[in-house]
Structure 1
Amino acid sequence: MTEKLASLFGVSLELAQVIMPILVIHFVLALIALVDLIKNWKVRTMPIIWLFIILILNLIGPVLYFIIGRQQKHAD
């Protein structure tokens, strides 16, 4: 599969083998962060902003959400 992707995007096989695990890690982290955000939508202080951070900041966004966003609770 990596060979097909490498030829499709015109990159070397070695580069594709380095990029694929990073893409998988990014997808899994983003998916877990989005699921957690949606499950706790009402208790997050700024869920729309966290949604954009997770989706736009690629690998850093989900990590920031897990470090900062999950600890924030709605202030009553």
Structure 2
Amino acid sequence: MLLAFIPTLIALIDILKSRFNQNDKLVWIVVVLFFNLIGAIMYFTIGRKQKIKVELEK
């Protein structure tokens, strides 16, 4: 059971640290919380591509 919780926790941390368009962040948080392991897998396969890339200034 703890093994299923780890990907969910990692996905939530990644979602909270990242920037998304409009309400995408809230949608992904809800998906990961309600569907746990399946939601985390969905986020890692689909959601990470939706993140806004932030360019670092030099």
So what's the TM-score if we normalise by structure 2? 0.76
1:44 partner letter: F
Name stretches of at least 5 consecutive residues in structure 1 with no aligned partner.
Answer: 1-22
Larger radius of gyration: 1
Deviation, structure 1 residue 59: 1.4
Match of 1:72 among 47, 50, 53: 50
What value does the CA root-mean-square deviation take over the aligned residues?
1.1
Structure number with higher relative contact order (C-alpha < 8 Å, ≥ 6 residues apart): 2
Name stretches of at least 5 consecutive residues in structure 2 with no aligned partner.
Answer: 53-58
Shift >3 Å, 4+ stretches: none
So what's the TM-score if we normalise by structure 1? 0.60
Q: How many residues align?
A: 50
